[in-house]
Chain A
């Protein structure tokens, strides 16, 4: 009740708060974010340049606006019939027409200089130190760190906001719709090049604080770069309409110190090596069941139900797929079902996890098929298709 009243008060006072928002600093930071009315310079040099350009043009427009609207409203308030004014009858003047053609033209040329300079800077891809391939999927991002030795590491970054928050059953968290399960990590003070593409439709990768927005186009690779000067977590969203969940594919970039980045990268590589080592291993049914459950809960349960009872997706318990051939089951898991909500998980889950979750589905919920799918089976299935 109290909160509600506070909100109403704020709405009524919003014009005042707007001004305050414009002027506020520091202590007002949180309020300022809520009532943010302007572009932020962000944490890059290019971002600061864009911000300066934006403000320059803004103030030029304000100045022109004051003059033009000043003249108009002066006229509206004084040149009225009700004040007994007799209309003049002038209706042309080549001199003023030439003047108000040339003056705006000169103002535009003045604007063109900083705009051109900043644009050249944005298009300068010399000396980039790190390449990251960004691929847009319906509706998530995949990041792949390009390594000189071919030891690329890659992962998907999914929205972490719970459905219950979106459907107003739970309170919305601080980073509602702007949180992912695995952010992309980049080192500070490093010129990072993003190679941007897409797997299905056009997306756009946008992080306002890093001053990067680039369309992700299937079949083409765009490039963009950033050099973050401050560590921190920076959030953005997909900017190009890409279908149903266009509003639900955020970007989170974690900018860290070089040492922290190196440690993170080493950890990711070790993880990849571990998975590689597991490829040859033969797992027991119990091991696969234990490994498969958390994967099922994370990736499958939202649609197929925690107990395989179904929901948006069909039931797993007793399903003809889960109780049919392993190959048929793998086909659905790896390739999805085109035209339905069942996505292709072949690129999202590694072979070890895929083997575990398939095994889990075949043996949990009373399916009890008794077979154990091994990572090598998934690998062979993928090779064979």
Chain B
């Protein structure tokens, strides 16, 4: 096979259509955004370290909470999993590349200018968007800073990028599987991404619709979200959450996929209940479309609506429970070892389940009348987003990094990263449950005195968690620059799957002739 290497220089990255190059760029971009969004979080926690205003003004605090949410959701977590999909899906299904390589390049290169645009609003007159990442109207329309127009444009662009990325994944999985790779033989990561891609294609246009209506309200005199002109501010919330709830599963389903790859490897035992995992993932995806208004229990819905959304939301616990039980049964009677990826996965199962418990509590509408918009909710979604998505992403990086670059990361440093993250994370977010139950609302720059101690603890935890990510960055760079070279095809003795049959490091082109799948 004639070696056909990458082009040289900067243009390699600008013009590349190679799934590994694009995957790498996605991963680095998302890490940069993770650091940026994390910096915003540090400002938030520094201000909340003590009651009173010490560091920032309320106006800027609101910009920080908004930008933190937007950057983390759209800039860090989503692109990181797209990067992982780019790298791994072709290698897992025995395809030479993604089905639509030029679109792949475009969908990545839309992102850096989009987030540069979004971040630049911080330096504009009137300041960055300050209406929360959920941007409820009319705070985000009639009462918004002028930069809302940049925000709308940015959301359109990142939506377009996501839709292209997901069309590409669907086209790849449906058309480019190696002979013999039937749907029910696909690795779980591929399955979860296939389902996620359909969710994205379904809901990103809804988000685009919502921001377009905002644009019309702001600039063209319509009143979609203004009661004074015959519109309805609550309509915005329905549209937003019709996108927003599937969105949180878009974030978590690929994480489920990662964990379902890694736990069997280090348990040296096949994934338990593969078929039920596929069905559970599909059920979660379906349910995500009929539960959106559980974010809006206090908005004044009729009781029939409250009951429907409460019952539907409770149902999500069933397929999610099936997944957790399957992971644990996979570990059961295995021969486990605890390298860094496995530690992050066990941390994931433990903390994600805690987030699942608070999810069940929040699903109960009457109790939600107390929890809603309090720090209890903040604690809940960080347990599922950070300990869910971010932990699984860390696991994925450690797991596949040797395959990507042919070098081994430092295990001690990796384990230190896990334990510091684990402690920092829990110190940050566990006390926030207490704060919420005691009555502290979310998104406030200053708080009553009885909330002081837990806020101080939470801030200290956040600084620890933040610092541990610098260790992560250092470990990854150190591995690439000076890690111990490895050329074993199977980095991990228990690993299964096509990606472990190609040489290490993975050559620029893999599976130019399809493999045999038994």
Residue contact A217 to B373, C-beta cutoff 8 Å:
no
Complex contacts, B366 vs chain A, CB 8 Å:
46, 49-50, 53, 115, 118-119, 122
B420 within 8 A of A: no
Residue contact B298 to A87, C-beta cutoff 8 Å:
no
- Pick out which of these stretches binds chain B: A184-192, A241-249, A361-369: A241-249
Residue contact A72 to B437, C-beta cutoff 8 Å:
no
Contact of B367 among A57, A206, A245 (CB under 8 A): A57
Closest Cβ–Cβ distance, residue A84 to chain B (whole Å)? 9
What CA separation (Å) do A119 and B297 show in the bound complex?
11
Residue contact A217 to B234, C-beta cutoff 8 Å:
yes
Complex contacts, A108 vs chain B, CB 8 Å:
314-315, 317-318, 360
Complex contacts, A65 vs chain B, CB 8 Å:
353-354, 357
- Chain A proximity mask over B239-277: 1 for CB below 8 Å, otherwise 0: 000000000000000000000000000011111111110
- Chain B proximity mask over A101-119: 1 for CB below 8 Å, otherwise 0: 1001100100110011011
Contact of A35 among B318, B335, B353, B453 (CB under 8 A): B453
Which residue on A lies nearest to B50, using beta carbons? Answer: A168
Interface size on A, residues (CB 8 A): 99
Complex contacts, B442 vs chain A, CB 8 Å:
241
Contact of A104 among B268, B317, B365, B437 (CB under 8 A): B317
B441 within 8 A of A: yes
- Chain A proximity mask over B305-349: 1 for CB below 8 Å, otherwise 0: 011001100110110011011001111111111000000001001
What CA separation (Å) do A101 and B364 show in the bound complex?
20
Contact of B328 among A14, A72, A204 (CB under 8 A): A72
Given contacts A57-B364, A119-B307, contact A202 B139 (CB under 8 A): yes
Complex contacts, A246 vs chain B, CB 8 Å:
58, 62, 441, 443-444
What CA separation (Å) do A223 and B226 show in the bound complex?
20
Complex contacts, B131 vs chain A, CB 8 Å:
241
Q: List, sorted by A's number, 14 A–B pairs whose CB atoms are closer than 8 Å.
A: A38-B437, A87-B333, A120-B303, A166-B53, A168-B52, A172-B51, A172-B449, A176-B448, A200-B138, A218-B226, A220-B300, A235-B448, A246-B444, A247-B447
Residue contact A177 to B227, C-beta cutoff 8 Å:
no
Closest Cβ–Cβ distance, residue A308 to chain B (whole Å)? 25
Closest Cβ–Cβ distance, residue B344 to chain A (whole Å)? 14
Contact of B373 among A200, A239, A244 (CB under 8 A): A239
Residue contact B365 to A115, C-beta cutoff 8 Å:
yes
What CA separation (Å) do A120 and B303 show in the bound complex?
8
Which residue on B lies nearest to A103, using beta carbons? Answer: B321
Closest Cβ–Cβ distance, residue A317 to chain B (whole Å)? 27
B299 within 8 A of A: yes
Complex contacts, A236 vs chain B, CB 8 Å:
439
What CA separation (Å) do A53 and B447 show in the bound complex?
28
Given contacts A76-B331, A108-B315, A204-B298, contact A64 B336 (CB under 8 A): no
- Chain B proximity mask over A72-88: 1 for CB below 8 Å, otherwise 0: 10011001111001111
What CA separation (Å) do A69 and B273 show in the bound complex?
19
Residue contact B303 to A91, C-beta cutoff 8 Å:
no
What CA separation (Å) do A246 and B66 show in the bound complex?
14
Q: A-B pairs with the 7 shortest C-beta distances? A: A219-B227, A247-B444, A222-B300, A36-B438, A118-B366, A61-B357, A88-B333
Complex contacts, A69 vs chain B, CB 8 Å:
350, 353
B181 within 8 A of A: no
Residue contact A211 to B449, C-beta cutoff 8 Å:
no
Complex contacts, A242 vs chain B, CB 8 Å:
139
What CA separation (Å) do A247 and B446 show in the bound complex?
6
A336 within 8 A of B: no
Contact of B449 among A38, A89, A174, A248 (CB under 8 A): A174
B456 within 8 A of A: yes
Closest Cβ–Cβ distance, residue B406 to chain A (whole Å)? 25
A96 within 8 A of B: yes
Residue contact A241 to B269, C-beta cutoff 8 Å:
no
Which residues of chain A have a CB within 8 Å of any CB of chain B? 10-11, 14, 18, 33-40, 46, 49-50, 53-54, 57-58, 61, 64-65, 68-69, 71-72, 75-76, 79-82, 85-93, 96-97, 100-101, 104-105, 108, 111-112, 115-116, 118-120, 122-123, 138, 165-168, 172, 174-178, 200-202, 204, 206, 208, 211-215, 217-220, 222-223, 235-248
Complex contacts, B234 vs chain A, CB 8 Å:
217, 220
- Chain A proximity mask over B53-70: 1 for CB below 8 Å, otherwise 0: 110001100100000000
What CA separation (Å) do A10 and B346 show in the bound complex?
31
What CA separation (Å) do A246 and B322 show in the bound complex?
41
Complex contacts, A93 vs chain B, CB 8 Å:
273
Complex contacts, B485 vs chain A, CB 8 Å:
none
Complex contacts, A80 vs chain B, CB 8 Å:
335-337
Complex contacts, B350 vs chain A, CB 8 Å:
69, 72
Complex contacts, A238 vs chain B, CB 8 Å:
441
Closest Cβ–Cβ distance, residue A220 to chain B (whole Å)? 6
Complex contacts, B36 vs chain A, CB 8 Å:
none
Complex contacts, B511 vs chain A, CB 8 Å:
none
B152 within 8 A of A: no
Interface size on B, residues (CB 8 A): 94
Complex contacts, B54 vs chain A, CB 8 Å:
168
- Chain A proximity mask over B136-160: 1 for CB below 8 Å, otherwise 0: 1011001100000000000000000
Which residue on A lies nearest to B446, using beta carbons? Answer: A247
Residue contact B437 to A36, C-beta cutoff 8 Å:
yes
B184 within 8 A of A: no
Contact of B438 among A37, A57, A81, A211 (CB under 8 A): A37
Residue contact B336 to A81, C-beta cutoff 8 Å:
yes
Which residue on A lies nearest to B325, using beta carbons? Answer: A100
Closest Cβ–Cβ distance, residue B389 to chain A (whole Å)? 20
Complex contacts, A61 vs chain B, CB 8 Å:
357, 360-361
Residue contact A112 to B361, C-beta cutoff 8 Å:
no
Residue contact A123 to B441, C-beta cutoff 8 Å:
no
Closest Cβ–Cβ distance, residue B206 to chain A (whole Å)? 21
Complex contacts, A235 vs chain B, CB 8 Å:
448
Residue contact B324 to A79, C-beta cutoff 8 Å:
no
Residue contact A87 to B267, C-beta cutoff 8 Å:
yes
Residue contact A87 to B334, C-beta cutoff 8 Å:
yes
- Chain A proximity mask over B357-393: 1 for CB below 8 Å, otherwise 0: 1001100111101101110000000000000000000
Residue contact A39 to B370, C-beta cutoff 8 Å:
yes
Closest Cβ–Cβ distance, residue A379 to chain B (whole Å)? 25
Closest Cβ–Cβ distance, residue A21 to chain B (whole Å)? 9
What CA separation (Å) do A122 and B368 show in the bound complex?
12
Complex contacts, B507 vs chain A, CB 8 Å:
none
Which residue on A lies nearest to B271, using beta carbons? Answer: A91
Residue contact A166 to B52, C-beta cutoff 8 Å:
yes
Given contacts A72-B350, A213-B370, contact A79 B274 (CB under 8 A): no
Residue contact B52 to A165, C-beta cutoff 8 Å:
yes
B450 within 8 A of A: yes
Residue contact B314 to A211, C-beta cutoff 8 Å:
no
Contact of A200 among B143, B322, B328, B433 (CB under 8 A): B143
Residue contact A57 to B361, C-beta cutoff 8 Å:
yes
What CA separation (Å) do A161 and B269 show in the bound complex?
62
Closest Cβ–Cβ distance, residue B263 to chain A (whole Å)? 11
What CA separation (Å) do A323 and B215 show in the bound complex?
41
Residue contact A237 to B335, C-beta cutoff 8 Å:
no
Contact of B441 among A39, A71, A91, A239 (CB under 8 A): A239
Complex contacts, B273 vs chain A, CB 8 Å:
91-93, 97
B37 within 8 A of A: no
B11 within 8 A of A: no
What CA separation (Å) do A40 and B434 show in the bound complex?
11
Contact of B456 among A11, A82, A201 (CB under 8 A): A11
B505 within 8 A of A: no
Complex contacts, A68 vs chain B, CB 8 Å:
324-325, 328, 353
Complex contacts, B444 vs chain A, CB 8 Å:
237, 246-247
Which residue on A lies nearest to B361, using beta carbons? Answer: A57
Residue contact B300 to A88, C-beta cutoff 8 Å:
no
